[in-house]
């Protein structure tokens, strides 16, 4: 069995219309003894969760604590999903964790065990193995319906909530916020949030009451999630942090590919794409080529508007669960991600901006062999 197989087996075999089965995940957690014996910090929201989780983990680790972090998806490989003090677990450790989960036989159901949920369970098991002091969990999607809800959080960090996954998590922003707020339990001491829309904030307040803390960081938009992570961590420990440098690939990260300067970022909305473009133009003055990858369910219309006047190559991800069927501007080039290697990028010009879903940026990091093992 490969190191990935146990985590993706049920998801790969799922039937159309089936959903993740939280009850089966709970039974599996009980069977393998996955229980959080140390404080948990859980991150929910629509975007920026991985950044928030990483900076919260770095803050906690800088106090001398041992921290296990679970994020989804991995930056480059699936073992990136579980880290100890910012360092990815090994292939062998991932395979061993998968084998422990696969050793339990559960009765079949109409649902499936989700990959993100299984990595969450594996991360909690690994936290026990390495005697972690804290666990930081990023919700894969949602809140109450996500496997992170199986491990009550002492502190919840909430990034901006907007109309992402409409029709899946809810039909309105308020319903989506209610679903994400479901990780706030009686055991939760603090729910730390960035400023939210009135309807989202009302749902958070209804759930958290006077435990809700809204921070209004005086920061650029691209550092807000980092500051949220640090603030949430500060609500979990009274220990003083020491300075630590965080390197987070594919979050407006800079890379030299031969003679080409490449920036990789992961916006999924038109506003996010515009922010990335504006920031790149402020640094470079101009952009030779934009690589964009947004599947059908993301804000492609907004991205098209933000990229008007710029040369764009749209990148598709074949052999994934994502769909790429929407019409594109006639002047855009189109390619598949497998073609985007170092030579391809260097041929695009001196200043290349790569934008899109984390599945795309993960492929790109892998194609270019950009290290992701250590984040801090």
341-362 confidence digits (pLDDT tens): 999 999 999 999 999 999 999 9
Mean pLDDT of 307-331: 95
pLDDT for 173 beyond 90: yes
Element containing residue 357 per DSSP (H, E): none
Contact 367, 341 (CB under 8 A): yes
Do 53 and 181 fall into the same domain? Answer: yes
**Number of structural domains found in the chain:** 2
Q: 9 in a domain, yes or no?
A: yes
pLDDT at position 224: 95
pLDDT for 217 beyond 90: no
Question: Which has the minimum average pLDDT: 139-143, 237-241, 245-249, 369-373?
Answer: 139-143
Mean pLDDT of 306-318: 98
Mean pLDDT of 169-195: 97
Domain CATH for 363:
3.90.190.20
pLDDT for 139 beyond 90: yes
pLDDT at position 195: 97
Burial class of residue 66, CB neighbours in 10 A (0-12, 13-18, 19+): middle
pLDDT for 319 beyond 90: no
Q: 58 in a domain, yes or no?
A: yes
pLDDT for 66 beyond 80: yes
DSSP designation for 3: T
Mean pLDDT of 247-259: 98
Alpha-carbon distance 120 to 138, whole Å?
9
Mean pLDDT of 274-300: 98
Q: Is the entire prediction scored with pTM above 0.85?
A: yes
Q: 247 in a domain, yes or no?
A: no
Do 62 and 145 fall into the same domain? Answer: yes
Mean pLDDT of 35-41: 98
Domain CATH for 48:
3.40.1190.10
Do 200 and 326 fall into the same domain? Answer: no
Q: 81 in a domain, yes or no?
A: yes
Do 212 and 277 fall into the same domain? Answer: no
The range of the structural domain enclosing residue 261 comes to: 253-367
pLDDT at position 121: 99
Do 98 and 19 fall into the same domain? Answer: yes
Which of 204, 234, 264 terminates a domain? The answer is 234
Positive or negative, the CA dihedral 297, 41, 250, 20 is negative
Mean pLDDT of 252-258: 98
pLDDT at position 169: 87
What are the angstrom distances between the C-alpha of 263 and each of 2, 218, 228, 365? 32, 25, 24, 11
pLDDT for 164 beyond 80: no
- The model's pLDDT over 104-128, given as tens digits with 9 standing for 90+, comes to 999 989 999 999 999 999 999 999 9
DSSP designation for 221: G
Element containing residue 153 per DSSP (H, E): none
Do 262 and 316 fall into the same domain? Answer: yes
Mean pLDDT of 239-243: 97
Positive or negative, the CA dihedral 290, 318, 168, 101 is negative
Do 204 and 171 fall into the same domain? Answer: yes
Do 158 and 263 fall into the same domain? Answer: no
Question: Which has the minimum average pLDDT: 265-269, 296-300, 317-321?
Answer: 317-321
Mean pLDDT of 222-236: 97
Percentage of residues in the chain having pLDDT higher than 70: 100
Mean pLDDT of 152-173: 91
Mean pLDDT of 88-106: 98
Q: 146 in a domain, yes or no?
A: yes
Question: Which has the minimum average pLDDT: 160-169, 196-205, 313-322?
Answer: 160-169
pLDDT at position 222: 84
pLDDT at position 166: 75
pLDDT at position 1: 59
Q: What average pLDDT does the structure give for the chain?
A: 97
Do 215 and 292 fall into the same domain? Answer: no
Do 288 and 222 fall into the same domain? Answer: no
Q: At 220, is the pLDDT very low, low, confident or very high (cuts 50, 70, 90)?
A: confident
Q: Residue 74: which of 291, 320, 366, 272 has the closest Cα?
A: 366
Do 164 and 215 fall into the same domain? Answer: yes
Torsion of CA 70, 71, 76, 82, to 10 degrees: 0
pLDDT at position 163: 87
pLDDT at position 221: 80
Q: Report the Cα 227 to chain-centroid distance in Å.
A: 16
Mean pLDDT of 190-204: 98
Contact 273, 355 (CB under 8 A): yes
Do 221 and 97 fall into the same domain? Answer: yes
Contacts of residue 180, defined as CB under 8 A and 6 or more positions apart, other chains included, come to: 44, 45, 139, 142, 143, 144, 158, 161, 169
């Amino acid at each position: 069995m490969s190191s990935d197989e146990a985590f993706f087996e049920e998801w790969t075999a799922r039937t159309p219309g089936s959903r993740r089965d939280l009850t089966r995940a709970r039974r599996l957690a009980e069977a393998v003894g996955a229980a959080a014996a140390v404080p948990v910090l859980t991150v929910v929201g629509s975007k920026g969760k991985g950044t928030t989780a990483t900076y919260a983990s770095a803050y906690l680790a800088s106090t001398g604590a041992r921290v296990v972090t679970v994020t989804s998806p991995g930056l480059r490989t699936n073992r990136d999903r579980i880290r100890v003090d910012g360092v990815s677990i090994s292939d062998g450790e991932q395979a061993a964790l998968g084998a422990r989960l696969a050793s339990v036989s559960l009765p079949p159901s109409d649902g499936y065990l989700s990959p993100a949920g299984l990595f969450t369970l594996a991360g909690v098991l690994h936290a026990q193995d390495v005697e972690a002091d804290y666990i930081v969990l990023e919700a894969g999607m949602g809140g109450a319906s996500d496997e992170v809800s199986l491990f009550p959080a002492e502190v919840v960090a909430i990034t901006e909530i907007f109309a992402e996954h409409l029709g899946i998590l809810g039909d309105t922003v308020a319903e989506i916020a209610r679903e994400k707020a479901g990780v706030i339990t009686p055991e939760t001491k603090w729910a730390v949030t960035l400023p939210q829309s009135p309807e989202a904030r009302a749902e958070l307040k209804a759930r958290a009451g006077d435990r809700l803390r809204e921070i209004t960081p005086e920061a650029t938009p691209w550092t807000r999630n980092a500051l949220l992570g640090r603030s949430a961590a500060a609500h979990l420990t009274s220990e003083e942090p020491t300075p630590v440098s965080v390197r987070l690939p594919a979050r407006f990260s800079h890379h030299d590919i031969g003679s080409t300067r490449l920036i990789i970022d992961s916006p999924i909305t038109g506003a996010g794409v515009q922010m990335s473009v504006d920031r790149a133009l402020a640094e470079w003055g101009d952009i030779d080529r934009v690589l964009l990858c947004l599947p059908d369910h993301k804000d492609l219309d907004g991205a098209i508007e933000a990229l008007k006047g710029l040369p764009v190559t749209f990148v598709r991800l074949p052999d994934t669960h994502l769909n790429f069927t929407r019409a594109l501007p006639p002047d855009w080039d189109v390619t598949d991600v497998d073609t985007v290697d170092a030579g391809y990028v260097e041929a695009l010009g001196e200043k290349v901006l790569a934008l899109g879903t984390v599945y795309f940026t993960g492929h790109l990091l892998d194609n270019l062999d950009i290290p992701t093992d250590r984040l801090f």
